[in-house]
Chain A
Amino acid sequence: MKLAYYPGCVARATGKEYEISTRSVCSALGIELEEIDDWNCCGATHVSNELVAVGLAARNLARTELPVMTGCSICYSKLRSAVLRLEDNGVKRKVNSVLEREYTGAEVKHLIEVIMEVLEGADDGVIASLEGLKVAPYYGCLLTRPCGGIDSPENPAVLEKLLRTLGAEPVDFRLKMKCCGGPIFMTEEAAASDTAFKILECAKESGADAIMVVCPLCHLMLDANQHAMEKKFGAEIDLPVLYVTQLTGLALGLGVEELGMGMNSVSPAPVLEKLEAARGAEEEEGEVC
């Protein structure tokens, strides 16, 4: 499978381990990624003018003939919103009047859609099952919004399904769809932290060993910011936050370096230990037989 890859700005900075693990997993799954040439920022949640936001997305989409894949939920939502708005011929005409390459239509996919497709088609994709691991699937806000994307915006199940495919156990996690507050963290720290910390507490209460995220901004809020929030709210969370690609990589038997796991703020060691213990037990059992 060959796809156009839209990394998004964060992949080159605070989301580096997402990009590293994305490339490793895609390579292991036989997905060929062709990075969109000279791509630009999607505008994220900060370009208030709708037409400009659509124009920014359209420039990226017009630069490839292939289906476009991205791992960032914000980029995914923005690209998808643009595709919806560009169905309006008036909008399309205006936007095309500015673009160098004409936008004619595009297919946008989220990384997890692609991973699911390949794993479902493969006979023995998962070689090192994540059995025994309880994971809180964190959707965040924009993975499923606006409507019509990868799954229902109200009661999605795609991440749970993926976790089960990987052998892990998804926990019931009430705030899985609540926004992490990331987009306003820089300017409205108090509000964003308040929102993010509730999500961490809820994930902790659900009995998960780790949280799985699909967006670098969610990761930033829940992982990089976790220690600061623990201090601020005076409560211990200590919950590893892993990218979907890091968990998938572990299940595919990839090494921790290939998955950029040294870059996570909250140490993923407990997760690795638990997996090792479970695998060790399995092997012992095997020996007895």
Chain B
Amino acid sequence: MRIGVYVCHCGLNIAGVLDPQDLSEFAGTLPDVEVARDIQFTCSDTGQETIKEDIVEHKLDGVVVAACSPRLHEPTFRKVIADAGMNPFLLEMANIREQCSWVHMEEPARAQEKAKDLIRMAVAKAALLNPLVGEVMPVSQDVLVIGGGVAGIQAALDLADSGLRVYLVERKPTIGGYMALLTDVFPTNDCSICVLAPKMTDVYNHPLITLISYAEILNIEGSVGRFTVSGIKKARFVDESLCKGCINDCAAVCPVEVPDEYQFGLGKRKAIYMPIPQSVPLVVCIDPQACVGCGLCAEACPVDAVKYDQEPEEFKFDVGAIIVATGWKPFDPARKEEFGYGRYKDVITGLQMERLLNAAGPTRGEVVRPSTGEIARSIAFIQCVGSRDHTVGNVYCSRVCCMYALKNAQLVKEKDPDADITIHYIDMRAGGEGYEEFYERAQRLGINFVRGRVSEVQEVDGGLVLTYEDTLLGRFRNSRYDLVCLSTGLEANSDADVVGNILGLAKRPDGFFEIAHPKMRPVEAHIDGVFIAGCASGPKEIQVSIAQGGAAAAKALRLLSRGELALDPVTAMVDTDKCIGCKLCVEICPSKAISVERTAMVDEASCKGCGTCAAACPVDAIDMRLFSDEQILAQVRAATATKREYPFIVGFLCNWCSYAGADLAGTSRIQYPPNMRVIRVMCVGRVDPSFVIEALRNGADGVLISGCRLGECHYDKGNYQAYQRVQVLRGVLEAVGVNPKRVKIIWCAASEGEILAKEMRTFVDELKEIGSIGDELKGGSA
């Protein structure tokens, strides 16, 4: 190897504490180093030119820059060496500014020793770097949108309007989702279907959208850029191309009546039916469970569209990206037995109230008591039914129930100003533009609010009696109402489990699909090329679902717009000779990038390079192209070559949080003892126990592993994996006579430089207490 080492002064930022000339002289003595220089500002044009000239002149095949954090200038120097004709992955940086000169300002001599170690480590790794080439892959520019609710509709329209072909797959006979069944919507009380129907029609008419309704997805294969989707379109027993949507002729003669699921059981429909008047496609459907096969509809149909022998049709197509907009399902309030839903006819759900209030609903907009058909004059709304409730396993707030109850209460009050309406709540939640104003409007209309969760509803003499404590007055009450409306919450749609399982989507404890980052990546799944929009990832208002549909479309467009994907070469690779096909890696991979036939295979388009699989592989058959076992072990050995500190610590910090946190300690000039030599890994899930053992065997007194805070891992759960491995390793160490407290695992966010510094100080003290590792090594066999 012929390595060039460049030690930066960074003005006085580095040179004010360290001696760069001494460092470059030291570097010159290291094996494989061809040339070593100290430079005032390495990132300046002059600095860059020096490196480029050396590469040519000395025929370098490795470059080490000892300067600032690689998180700052790694891209800069990769470009510099690439410009000089070298592979950009033959660069390694030694972070002697953020993690050395800025944090050990009071102890220049010890800092100088640390800087030497850091350079030795970087040179050791550089000697083992391989040229890597990122491949470019052509991709399909078509997109699959799963679910035709408002989020899916918005995503499909935005993509198609941008010129991409969209397949919109909906399992029901019509698109529109729950929004199509609501009456007016908050906070403006405008008609829901009036604003949605035009979008539904646009979907139908758009030349770039293929709408596949009444269909199920059965399989999805492949990965980002080249998914293959297959499924079936169920038989409607009606020819979609012939049906004119006139409905009256066929349904009028049908003798079978069943409860109408589109009225939530309040009304009836026929066995041949149009789901809703605004159905898209405007085609009837025969319910095979209800149909008696009498043939009357076929006779009545003027265009002979009824086809009793229609078979399900299979479909199959390729797409580059997938948007999951599978929505939600209503909580079943019969599970809260104390509220009497299902036992008492006049206890209804929020969705049933929507239908009662809807002019196209079963009562043409009259809010009646289902038991008698009389107008309900007194109505209670009970909030948080199935939400914020451990007894049914739903800890979360469903976010929309306060607002929809306020809205429905207003609509009733506007029709009947004398109606007696009370909302029983725990906390009214009206956060959103115009929402608090909406709450106030309800108060002004004369709607009562009682703070206190209703404990039970009982039917007494034909009325419904609610028992509750008015917690603001501290009084117990029994109040009687004509009608009780349960503000039922939103649950994860269990119908989406099939798609979730096929795609390998992660679920949160609340049952909804998990997004890649709770804040920064709101519409991305953990799987490359898969996006999530709307209530599939948790309860949301209509406006947020629409925003997410648009956002997911934009993300898919960004991914596919060039028609090709540049693949990051920092991926895992499998030694098929070693692999035993145990599938441990398949389970552990957060990106579902590994599959096993006989041996494991890594899909490089999907692999994010976290390295958890490499650490988990029981036979060391998986390695990383960068951050390889060999490279990291070389860093460990280089770090422990002289050990001019006591206690001596080797650290493994994850790139995204902890390494960034350590950099922040530097930029904030937070001082901590210079006892640690840091090895950067992409994720702490990469830390193989053999790295830790190697460090201890070579005389490190302690090993610190620091990852993202639990729940914040950039690769989903790499930090949990690391935690488990550390627990096991500690047991092993104890068994061989090494104090398990020598291995410490902590969590540190990118914003927590102070925490990292504090943990360092504590760990140094703890290790001093434990003592040098020397004695333990003699006794044990570690």
Partner-B contacts on A (CB < 8 A): 147, 152, 154-155, 174
Contact = CB atoms under 8 A, between A and B. Distances in A.
Contacts of A147: 391
A155 B337 contact: yes
Contacts of A154: 336-338, 456
Interface string B307-350: 00000000000000000000000000000111000010000000
A174 B459 CA distance: 9
5 contacts: A154-B336, A154-B456, A155-B337, A155-B343, A174-B458
Contacts of B337: 152, 154-155
A147 B456 CA distance: 17
Contacts of B336: 154
B460 A174 contact: yes
A44 B537 CA distance: 47
Nearest to A174: B458
Interface of B: 336-338, 343, 391, 456, 458, 460
Which of A152, A154, A174 has the most chain B CB within a 10 Å cutoff? Answer: A154
Contacts of B458: 174
Nearest to A154: B337
A152 B460 CA distance: 21
A177 to B, nearest CB: 9
Contacts of B338: 154-155
Interface of A is mostly: loop
B386 to A, nearest CB: 14
A176 to B, nearest CB: 11
Contacts of B391: 147
A231 to B, nearest CB: 28
Contacts of A152: 337
Given A154-B456, A155-B337, A155-B343, 8 more contacts: A147-B391, A152-B337, A154-B336, A154-B337, A154-B338, A155-B338, A174-B458, A174-B460
Contacts of A174: 458, 460
A147 B338 CA distance: 14
A147 B336 CA distance: 13
A155 B344 CA distance: 12
Nearest to B339: A154
A283 to B, nearest CB: 39
B642 to A, nearest CB: 48
Contacts of B460: 174
A147 B393 CA distance: 14
A152 B391 CA distance: 12
A174 B460 CA distance: 8
Nearest to B460: A174
A163 B415 CA distance: 48
A28 B338 CA distance: 37
A147 B458 CA distance: 21
A155 B459 CA distance: 13
Nearest to B336: A154
A31 B460 CA distance: 41
A184 B324 CA distance: 57
Nearest to A156: B337
A174 B338 CA distance: 12
A152 B334 CA distance: 12
Nearest to A155: B337
A31 to B, nearest CB: 31
For the complex of A and B, list the 9 residue pairs with the smallest distance between their C-beta atoms, beginning with the closest: A154-B337, A155-B337, A154-B338, A152-B337, A174-B458, A174-B460, A155-B343, A155-B338, A154-B456
A194 to B, nearest CB: 14
Nearest to B456: A154
A154 B343 CA distance: 12
Nearest to A152: B337
A225 to B, nearest CB: 25
A262 B338 CA distance: 38
Query: Which of B336, B338, B343 has the largest count of A CB atoms less than 10 A from its CB?
Result: B338
Contacts of A155: 337-338, 343
A152 B338 CA distance: 10
A257 to B, nearest CB: 40
A155 B338 CA distance: 7
B432 to A, nearest CB: 34
A155 B335 CA distance: 10
Nearest to A175: B458
B466 to A, nearest CB: 14
A155 B337 CA distance: 6
A26 B460 CA distance: 38
A154 B338 CA distance: 6
A154 B458 CA distance: 11
Nearest to B338: A154
B462 to A, nearest CB: 13
